[in-house]
Chains A and B, each alone.
Chain A
Amino acid sequence: MNNFFGKQIFERQKAVVIDFGSSFIKCGFAGEGIPQAFLPTNLIDLQTGEELEITSKNNTSQKKIQIWKRTLFKRFYSIFFGILNVNPKNRRVVFCENILLPNFIKEMIIEILFEKFHVVGLLCVPSPVLTLVAFKKHVGLVIDLGHSESTVVPVYQEIPLYSKIEYCSLGFDSVVKNLRSIVLSELEETDKEVYSIAEKLPEKIWNEIAVKTCFVLERNAIILKKENKEKKKKEFIADINYPCLDKEGNDIAITISGKARSNAAEILFNGNTQNDYEGIPYRILECLMGCNSDITVALSQNLILTGGTSMVPGCRLRLENELNWLLENDPHFKKLKGLQGKLIFQKHPFFNNYLSWVGGSVFGYLEIMNEKFVSLQTFKEMGLKSIPNWSHFKIDEEN
């Protein structure tokens, strides 16, 4: 692997960095600050027309594996030849993996990249380690708010502590569902014609409505009411009309009330009481409780927010207020009471969307990482054992 000619090939071309998310794939070249494109991950099988979900159930039969391989192959084909305009044959690939990605999908991706595209080297890095790179930090608590779920992972000296992960299946799609149910329940009483149209709108349009109109209040709605009564303020949040088309082609507007706009994202913080979830701030504090006491101070001063749903306006402020409120009033978190008012969220010059991609691009650029790439030869000799299931490494560790 380290022969002279091999080193020349490695160092001449930029590596390709791919980040697989549940709703968007980010792809680009190493050494650059921004990805080339955001692609939606519509894993739809063209032959049968079914949409594939990334879960670990019902996906072990041979038929399903063939279907998955076909759709993943097409996705990567469109990434390499459609967007990046690059021959994958002599390129290295940095793959930023989600920690909770099911193992069979990861194995399929590795097989496709090596056997079908003949990639020269592969490096699989867990994404919490990469998000820390953008802050120039080595210790931190990574809070990832994604589309289908959100995770809290503590990372200490570039090692993610896998046994202390907290997971919550609340993400942006639960916000969208909440919006839809509130708006439909309001429309049912007032306007039945518009209700019948709004009921049939596909999920994509509700996604757009949520992106354009929703935001998060500063504090819990109940607490805000009390404060406003004391100060005799009246806060007014306006309704918004979303234009739509009738069956006959006339213009119709769906009114999205102020209540729906401000309460749609509450589900992230209050939790879904039907299925016994607690909200995200509760999960963060549970994670801090579970860690060893000598790490908690360091972690609490390096809170890191990533993910697309954290870009909803007002999200970070609300999180901070909720955490401080929970530390003050909840007896379950007595142990952490001294941290009240001392939690610090870190700043960075990028957008929250693609933070882990930025870390991957730095890793693909460094020369010291050249040895960590798993090459084609080792894959041919050892098979899937060459890349471990739970990846772990540090910058200064030797192989």
Chain B
Amino acid sequence: MSSPKVEFKCNCNTLRNLSGLYCCTQCSKLSCNYCCETKIDSYFCPVSLTGLSSDEVTSSLCKSNNRFQCPQCESQLVFQAITENSSQKLYLSCNYCRYRSDTAIGLTFKSMNEIHKEYLAKERLSHTGNDMESLKEYYSKISKEMLKLREFNSGKFHRLLNVINSPYKSSPRLRKKFSTGRNFSPMRSIYSNRYSQNERTKSGGSTVGNNKGEGGENKDDKFSSSLMSSKKTYGSVLPNSKKMKFNYTNLEEAIEKRKDKITNTIHKTEKIQWTDQIPKELKNKFDVTQITSLSQRFSQLATQPRKLSELSPQRIRLMNKKSKQCPHCQHTLIKPEINPNKSTFKIKKLALMIFPQIFISKIPATFQTDKQSELVISFKNPTFNEMKISDLEISSSPLSDLDQDQEQNENEKKEETTANIVVKGKEFSINGYDESAQFTDITLEEETTQETNDDPEFIQQRKLNKVYLRISITPTKSVEMLQIGLKFKVSCVLQSKFESEASVIISLGKVN
């Protein structure tokens, strides 16, 4: 059983209360939190209420320098002092759960300024520690080699191939030189020393795999990585193309050599020793209140301790102030003040200040099919000047773009109308908000007789800056939730003339 409510429709087709919408005065369109663009304006510490510049924020890793959080109950910690042997020491204490960093861990400080340096140093270590640095180095080395290979494959090589291939096709002599023997690798033929030597040999055989038994080994092989060849266990080696070197003459020796290599790679396994047996403390009795819960562990991700005695206070996270922009015309809708002590706004363009608020003032107790009942709605004008409302349309089927596809709803509109609604007027105007009306002695009767020329079946009464309308409803079907759609146009005078449209859905209740 949901109570009756009034919801406005935003430009992005979501339904919201009028208090959650913003209205841009330049393009006169509504926007909500879902479609606005938000930006962070400034940062501040929520405990000490001091603002920070952007340099300080990045240097302190976006957490406050002087304020700490209790590790047990996540409330704020306070500094307190002890005097021992004529020297003052500070420790942290929690007023909510009686936590003292003195007795728990032994944390004491000499002065407030020294604290954040130690903490910063520790956090930096844990965030970018040695383990992470070694990972980054390993992968950046691999990526550099890949980049080199890619450069080679893409640019220079293709140009050189064109140079090589053109005489290759014409003359048979050159064809012999660059014959695709078994181990033809263009890298070697261009960059190796043997190429230049082979030009002068009379035999003119292939560069690699000479009959003399000298294999085409390259000492200046730029593109073999020491990384890849060092590790020989499974899973840690990227595929490398040319590592096997064959000597055609001494086949038997070559096979034996190769066998050793293969067997070595299979049987070489790293022996890893694990020491993670269950500690005996778990099987005996222990106090459950001394063990950390999951959320306490996650406040210290570097160590994730199991015991309460190993927790340490953490720095409090900074908060920020945001400003919002209209998505259609990029004008600012909301801009807060930079001073963290103030919660006011420099620019504030809310829909509450421009659009009329709609309330339900009289609703029948139950709705029944084929029985006429009366509904009274009130419009309230928030501006200081007169406001005109025109082109009032009321329909019983809710507005189409929301829930279902448009095709379905068009068919449904012709078939179903859940109620017949009658409104006897289309235009009216509302008076502005008058501040001095609080202090005058006008009674209620005199207020209602001020305005004449009102159709009493359309407008029930007027009061200061409100207008009450009558609507008569006869529902035709029994529905779980009866909904009425309203559309109207608003025109009023703010700093300049302002005109806009609005569409509203009023959900009333069950129809028996």
Contact pick for A237, options B143, B283, B291, B294, CB 8 Å:
B283
Q: Which residues of B contact A235 (CB under 8 A)?
A: 283
B225 interface residue per 8 A CB criterion: no
Q: Given the interface contacts A62-B403, A139-B235, A395-B143, does A133 sit within 8 Å of B135 by beta carbon?
A: yes
- How close is A248's CB to chain B, nearest CB, in angstroms? 21
User: B300 — nearest CB in chain A belongs to which residue?
Assistant: A34
Q: Mark A69-110, 1 if CB is under 8 A from B, else 0.
A: 010010000000101111101000000000000000000000
CB pair B38 A302 closer than 8 Å: no
Measured CA separation A321–B138 after assembly (Å): 34
CB pair A241 B405 closer than 8 Å: no
A202 interface residue per 8 A CB criterion: no
In A295-354, which residues have CB < 8 Å from any B CB? 297-298, 301-302, 313-314, 316-317, 342, 344-347, 349-351, 353-354
Contact pick for A87, options B39, B132, B282, B284, CB 8 Å:
B39
Q: Which residues of A contact B40 (CB under 8 A)?
A: 81, 85-87
CB pair B234 A297 closer than 8 Å: yes
B229 interface residue per 8 A CB criterion: no
CB pair B129 A317 closer than 8 Å: no
Q: Given the interface contacts A34-B126, A241-B288, A344-B269, does A138 sit within 8 Å of B38 by beta carbon?
A: no
Q: Which residues of B contact A208 (CB under 8 A)?
A: 293-294
User: B238 — nearest CB in chain A belongs to which residue?
Assistant: A138
Q: Given the interface contacts A81-B38, A347-B274, does A366 sit within 8 Å of B143 by beta carbon?
A: yes
Contact pick for B135, options A35, A136, A216, CB 8 Å:
A136
Q: Which residues of B contact A218 (CB under 8 A)?
A: 277-278
A162 interface residue per 8 A CB criterion: no
CB pair A134 B135 closer than 8 Å: yes
Q: Which residues of A contact B234 (CB under 8 A)?
A: 139, 297-298, 301-302
CB pair A240 B285 closer than 8 Å: yes
Q: Given the interface contacts A34-B302, A157-B239, does A314 sit within 8 Å of B278 by beta carbon?
A: yes
Q: Which residues of B contact A33 (CB under 8 A)?
A: 126-129, 131-132
B97 interface residue per 8 A CB criterion: no
A32 interface residue per 8 A CB criterion: yes
CB pair A138 B235 closer than 8 Å: yes
Q: Given the interface contacts A89-B39, A136-B138, does A81 sit within 8 Å of B320 by beta carbon?
A: yes
Q: Which residues of A contact B142 (CB under 8 A)?
A: 395
Contact pick for A137, options B35, B149, B235, B276, CB 8 Å:
B235
- How close is B271's CB to chain A, nearest CB, in angstroms? 8
CB pair B235 A37 closer than 8 Å: no
- How close is A21's CB to chain B, nearest CB, in angstroms? 13
CB pair A317 B272 closer than 8 Å: no
- How close is A253's CB to chain B, nearest CB, in angstroms? 9
User: B135 — nearest CB in chain A belongs to which residue?
Assistant: A362
CB pair A212 B131 closer than 8 Å: no
CB pair B274 A362 closer than 8 Å: no
Q: Given the interface contacts A81-B40, A133-B135, A212-B293, does A368 sit within 8 Å of B147 by beta carbon?
A: yes
Q: Which residues of A contact B98 (CB under 8 A)?
A: none
- How close is B296's CB to chain A, nearest CB, in angstroms? 11
B441 interface residue per 8 A CB criterion: no
> Which of B38, B140, B272, B322 counts the most A-chain CB atoms under 10 A from its CB?
B38
Measured CA separation A216–B283 after assembly (Å): 11
Q: Which residues of A contact B405 (CB under 8 A)?
A: 62
Measured CA separation A297–B126 after assembly (Å): 36
In B293-311, which residues have CB < 8 Å from any A CB? 293-294, 298, 301-302, 304
In B135-166, which residues have CB < 8 Å from any A CB? 135-136, 138-140, 142-143, 146-147, 149-150
CB pair B235 A345 closer than 8 Å: no
CB pair B283 A73 closer than 8 Å: no
- How close is A358's CB to chain B, nearest CB, in angstroms? 8
CB pair A243 B288 closer than 8 Å: yes
Measured CA separation A236–B280 after assembly (Å): 11
CB pair A346 B278 closer than 8 Å: no
Measured CA separation A89–B38 after assembly (Å): 9
- How close is A222's CB to chain B, nearest CB, in angstroms? 19
Measured CA separation A72–B322 after assembly (Å): 20
Q: Which residues of B contact A62 (CB under 8 A)?
A: 403-405
Q: Which residues of A contact B293 (CB under 8 A)?
A: 208, 211-212
B376 interface residue per 8 A CB criterion: no
Contact pick for A351, options B276, B304, B403, CB 8 Å:
B304
Q: Given the interface contacts A62-B404, A396-B149, does A242 sit within 8 Å of B132 by beta carbon?
A: no
Q: Given the interface contacts A302-B235, A362-B135, does A73 sit within 8 Å of B276 by beta carbon?
A: no
Measured CA separation A35–B132 after assembly (Å): 12
CB pair A85 B277 closer than 8 Å: no
Measured CA separation A396–B150 after assembly (Å): 8
User: A347 — nearest CB in chain B belongs to which residue?
Assistant: B272
Q: Which residues of A contact B237 (CB under 8 A)?
A: 138
Measured CA separation A34–B509 after assembly (Å): 52
- How close is A128's CB to chain B, nearest CB, in angstroms? 14
Q: Mark B116-137, 1 if CB is under 8 A from A, else 0.
A: 0000000000111101100110
**Can you name 11 A-B residue pairings with CB atoms under 8 Å?**
A32-B132, A33-B132, A85-B43, A89-B37, A212-B288, A242-B288, A243-B288, A314-B278, A345-B274, A351-B301, A361-B132
Closest 8 CB pairs of A and B: A33-B132, A139-B235, A368-B143, A238-B285, A298-B234, A349-B131, A38-B298, A396-B146
Enumerate chain A interface residues (CB-CB to B < 8 A).
Answer: 31-35, 37-38, 62-63, 66, 70, 73, 81, 83-87, 89, 116, 118, 133-134, 136-140, 157, 207-208, 211-213, 215-216, 218, 235-243, 258, 297-298, 301-302, 313-314, 316-317, 342, 344-347, 349-351, 353-354, 358, 361-362, 365-368, 395-396, 398
Given contacts A138-B237, A212-B291, A235-B283, 14 further A-B contacts (CB under 8 A): A31-B128, A32-B132, A33-B129, A70-B14, A85-B57, A133-B139, A138-B235, A237-B283, A301-B235, A317-B277, A317-B278, A367-B140, A368-B146, A396-B150
